[in-house]
Structure 1
């Protein structure tokens, strides 16, 4: 991964496109970037032979490029999406630094959230920086990944891409999403379980895994809610990682993150094994909206 940036810089000593004042992107996003930004919309073969990206130039030298994709329906909240992205990046990089963060309003009612991530230089491996934008308007959402290439471009990319994406508007609301799929998608939905305690009482749980990588859960005993929580989740290989953001009663700090091992998953059933307790539980899928989820336990 780290060698690709030097290959890109070496491969691009000339433009493969013409300067653009308006950019119409395949996912339905339109940009009218500031005129002082010298941009083209083109392929960069050393990065991807088919995907077109926004390339920022200084003369004939490539400074950085921005890849923009439309997300599938349901990814409308920046916080859980970026939490999942950061977790994936931590798995890929042995060391991760989270730098500048900001939010902004864009043309056409869009709102953007931007975060800078970097992997420090180590030995002969140079520093790698990515600037990630999550842009949404309540109906559609996009992710933009800015990758510095030229020496010194890291100092430009955060502020310049904010200026660039502040000009964004959804030109085609009915445009389809990009080719983005996530391992988590097969688990999205509402799940319920029911267990009997040694004293004969029944404990029921509801778990809703949302497409934007947030979750809601409620635990009830004999019909009385004893615990509820919301948070964010992500899947990595056969493990689910949970981060509890809000709960009642409030969890202690050391229990606000947890992992479950996926023992099995089908269209109708999900078996999880807790990393903390070692206990397995079987959940079955229900159709959210057809009935109150906890009532589905007894249908």
Structure 2
């Protein structure tokens, strides 16, 4: 009877005898629950708790280090899916393209008439074959640029900051289009990509990289901005570039202490509020 009372069992598997204790919580654990530790063994619960308490490494900009640029992959996928839908249903492009308002005499449509979603949805659409100057090369060029530069920027900023940068850049391009060319019908991710280009340049300076390569990329981006004045919407490109620069400057030069995330989020929220206010004021003037 005394021998039976001396038998101990695993706290997770009561049917299994165990004589080894977890070095952290001091509970008995069986071989399937044991995890090698620096001294002795720990149970799976203590290993999980320890992993949560370890401070995760972060980049200079405060982003969590991730080997897989998941957001970039998702953004490319969304653009490609939207393009396939455009090919299948041409009306889809017109329904969600960026449009501020229609000229007098046409059916009222656009942001000024309640289609606020166009400020973002237009940034996920592209010209289809036989449409405009570029056709299918429009999405090809944009997706190649997003694939190449987006992965670099995302690995430094982390997923949340990177997504905020991308969306605010896209919104900045659409808002400048609304302010300057409200009757123009535009599509394309170029505004967001120009924002990523600005981020790439700011990040290069902040990290002390060899700026010759970064400056060459930026010079090419600015050259395309000039060329696009006669081919596409330079307003969307410039708006995305400026918005991306503002956001990334906040990411790069915010205090590196507990206030960093607060300052970065505050700048993003302030920029969002400014863009929304400008869009609302312009929409009100167009419908006055």
Q: Smaller-chain TM-score range?
A: under 0.3
Normalised to the residue count of structure 1, the TM-score between the two structures is 0.22
Larger Rg: 2
**Higher fraction of strand:** 1
Normalised to the residue count of structure 2, the TM-score between the two structures is 0.23
